[in-house]
Amino acid sequence: MPMCKEHGKVIDAPENIATYTVGRLQQMKRDHELKMDRRADRSWISNGQAMIRFAPDEDGEMQQITLNYWEDRHGNVQIMTPRQTEINALLLSLYMDINALCQLQEMTKNNPEAQGKNLLQSYATMKVDGVNPATGEPWTPVAHILRKMAKMPEITFGEFTKKLLSPESNPTDLFVAMEKELKSKPDPD
């Protein structure tokens, strides 16, 4: 089993031979491989679920408990960490923000006088958090979305777009379609 220099000396020290038996080292290796397999499994990004259960608290009163879980690539149920739960909530929030912007854009595309145009300009449907410290103005919707994405460095942009799309779709197709639409519009300048 490969070891760093420091831990290799500890394991191979004559006084530790009885502690670090072949069986124990093999179990340590299996445990580490399982831990790394779980860490590499990104299934929690797209299939997080929740179940609600009721359990008595210390006073005997029934208390609602929400348990967030996901199925790993082997079909085993895993409990979500608080960070995974937080990231899934951020992904849902981002999805809602982008969906609101897309709906407003669609509503105003063929009707410049639509009520949604004012909403789009004022970002009224976006729950924009904070202001740009450089300008004192609210963040634009795109900056707002990018700031939310920056709160999730564990998620790649491809994983994020995969969460927004159906499981069978390819995130690249979304950007190719967007690029084609942008190229088909005349340059405003």
**Residue at token pair 């949604």:** 116
pLDDT band per the 50, 70, 90 thresholds, residue 124: very low
Helix (H, G, I), strand (E, B) or coil at 178: helix
pTM reported for the whole predicted model: 0.56
pLDDT confidence of residue 157:
72
What is the identity of the amino acid at 85? T
Contact 78, 72 (CB under 8 A): yes
Tokens of 74: 């082997």
State yes or no: pLDDT of 130 exceeds 70.
Answer: no
Strand, helix or coil for residue 162 = helix
Q: Rounding to the nearest 10 degrees, give the CA dihedral for residues 179, 182, 184, 189.
A: -140
CA 142/CA 128 separation, integer angstroms: 10
